[in-house]
């Protein structure tokens, strides 16, 4: 673009003029390219930060539930190990509310540089179907890193309940439609959807009794104020061991090590009846693959550690540590499963 200025300039000014023109040309090109770079990044390009420098500051793991709960316990156990591996501070940031949607929205809007992560749960799959005005999409807005653990639920009843297996329970429900009750931790949660799925799969009608959390639901189950409920194995096992609850079936593909005598719902005649409280790490969707791969390698190593496996198994949870692709497929299956139940049962929330 400088060929128009090839006529011999005055000798004393030639070097300065050429340098000035080159500088102007360079600035003009940079100005033209800047919007294109910004547009490319908005369309899915990598952020300006060099992924090879990750992590260069503290990392935040956002948890959608209060401190002390099962998800928080998993997050803190993994955070400590991840901090040791990455040599950076890992902060667990509890943002309860909205069925964990507040936490998910924070991470979905965060910079895609690996320094803000979400401890995902089954709620990020079930909420896709039941909330009418959800501000994020779990598959569109997040990059799965790894599923860490899965804790199957157990269908439990009070010891005085006449049925000792699922077959008998279904017979009772069919003989007395709309009289048996099932407890849940709240409308739209996985225990609610699990009860609705049993109604749909078995062709029965029951009454849903929602509580403000898992603890009051468990208390009323042990008191016999409700007929049944799906509880995580972690919370149900102590009550079963003390004789305050009676297990009928496990909502998993295989029997649990801690409950080897309790059959699965598949054994009771309901295949593919899985209800699990799971935890896995998610990053904002445009996080560079190099960062996802680094986090994945560290998480797989952490999940394989004997003390972490023992901690998970003590919660009646199954350690996993799968690939980002496998985790994405798992989330997609969970979304499809609960979408079908929510749609057929007419379960929606604002």
The model's pLDDT over 127-159, given as tens digits with 9 standing for 90+, comes to 999 998 899 999 999 999 999 999 999 999 999
pLDDT of residue 47: 46
pLDDT of residue 49: 65
pLDDT of residue 237: 87
pLDDT of residue 52: 80
Q: Report the mean per-residue pLDDT for the chain.
A: 88
Per-residue confidence band for 350, with pLDDT thresholds at 50, 70 and 90: confident
Residue 75's H or E segment, with its range, is helix 70-86
Question: Cβ atoms within 10 A of the Cβ of 218, count?
Answer: 23
Residues in CB range of 48: below 8 A, 6 or more apart: 41
pLDDT of residue 32: 42
The model's pLDDT over 291-314, given as tens digits with 9 standing for 90+, comes to 999 999 999 999 999 999 999 988
pLDDT of residue 136: 96
Helices and strands in the chain, H and E counts: 12, 10
* DSSP code at position 76: H
52-151+277-345 and 152-251 agree in CATH topology: yes
**In this structure, which long-range contacts are made by residues 295-299, counting pairs with CB atoms below 8 Å and at least 24 apart in sequence?**
295/114, 295/117, 295/145, 295/146, 296/145, 296/146, 296/323, 296/324, 298/82, 298/85, 298/86, 299/78, 299/82, 299/145, 299/146, 299/148
CATH code for 152-251? 3.40.190.10
What is the average per-residue pLDDT within 86-104?
Answer: 96
Give the C-alpha separation, 245 to 146, whole Å: 34
pLDDT of residue 7: 39
Q: Which CA distances in Å does 165 have to 35, 126, 237?
A: 65, 27, 17
pLDDT at 83 over 70: yes
Residue 207's H or E segment, with its range, is strand 207-210
Alpha helices (H) along 109-260: 123-130, 138-141, 166-175, 190-202, 214-223, 233-241
Domain boundaries, the chain: 52-151+277-345, 152-251
Beta bridge partners of 249: 155
What is the average per-residue pLDDT within 184-207?
Answer: 96
> 173 versus 38: which is more confidently predicted?
173
**In this structure, which long-range contacts are made by residues 38-47, counting pairs with CB atoms below 8 Å and at least 24 apart in sequence?**
44/286, 45/286, 46/286, 46/288, 47/111, 47/112, 47/113, 47/286, 47/288
Residue 313's H or E segment, with its range, is helix 306-314
Give the C-alpha separation, 35 to 191, whole Å: 49
Give the C-alpha separation, 220 to 226, whole Å: 6
pLDDT of residue 19: 44
> 183 versus 68: which is more confidently predicted?
183
| Yes or no: domain 52-151+277-345 corresponds to CATH 2.40.100.10 | no
The model's pLDDT over 14-62, given as tens digits with 9 standing for 90+, comes to 444 444 444 444 444 444 444 443 443 434 444 456 788 899 999 999 9
pLDDT of residue 11: 42
User: Considering the chain, what percentage of its residues have pLDDT values greater than 90?
Assistant: 75
The model's pLDDT over 314-339, given as tens digits with 9 standing for 90+, comes to 888 999 999 999 999 999 999 999 99
């Amino acid at each position: 673009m400088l060929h128009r200025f090839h006529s011999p300039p005055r000798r004393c000014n030639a070097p300065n003029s050429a340098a000035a023109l080159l500088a102007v040309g360079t600035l003009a090109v940079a100005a033209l390219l800047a919007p294109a770079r910004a547009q490319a990044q908005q369309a899915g390009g990598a952020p300006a930060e060099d992924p090879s420098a990750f992590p260069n500051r503290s990392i935040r793991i956002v948890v959608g539930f209060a401190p002390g709960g099962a998800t928080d316990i998993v997050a803190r156990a993994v955070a400590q190990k991840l901090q040791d591996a990455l040599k950076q501070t890992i902060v667990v940031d509890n943002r309860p509310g909205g069925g964990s949607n507040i936490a998910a929205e924070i991470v979905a809007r965060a910079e895609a540089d690996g320094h803000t992560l979400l401890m995902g749960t089954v709620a990020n799959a079930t909420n896709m179907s039941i909330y009418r005005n959800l501000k994020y999409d779990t598959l569109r807005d997040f990059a799965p890193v790894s599923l860490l653990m899965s804790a199957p639920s157990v269908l439990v009843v009070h010891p005085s309940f006449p049925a000792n297996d699922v077959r008998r329970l279904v017979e009772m429900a069919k003989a007395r439609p709309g009289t048996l009750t099932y407890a849940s931790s709240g409308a739209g949660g996985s225990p609610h959807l699990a009860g609705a799925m049993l109604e749909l799969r078995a062709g029965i009608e029951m009454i849903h009794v929602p509580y403000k959390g898992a603890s009051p639901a468990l208390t009323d189950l042990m008191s016999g104020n409700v007929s049944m409920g799906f509880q995580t194995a972690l919370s149900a096992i102590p009550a079963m061991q003390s004789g305050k609850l009676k297990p009928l079936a496990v909502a998993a593909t295989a029997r649990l090590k801690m409950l080897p005598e309790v059959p699965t719902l598949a054994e009771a005649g309901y295949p593919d009846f899985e209800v699990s409280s799971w935890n896995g790490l998610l990053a904002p969707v445009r996080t560079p693959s190099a960062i996802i791969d680094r986090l994945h390698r560290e998480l797989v190593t952490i999940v394989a550690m004997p003390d972490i496996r023992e901690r998970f198994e003590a919660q009646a949870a199954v350690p996993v540590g799968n690939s980002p692709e496998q985790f994405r497929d798992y989330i997609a299956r969970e979304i499809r499963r609960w979408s079908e139940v929510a749609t057929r049962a007419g379960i929606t929330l604002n």
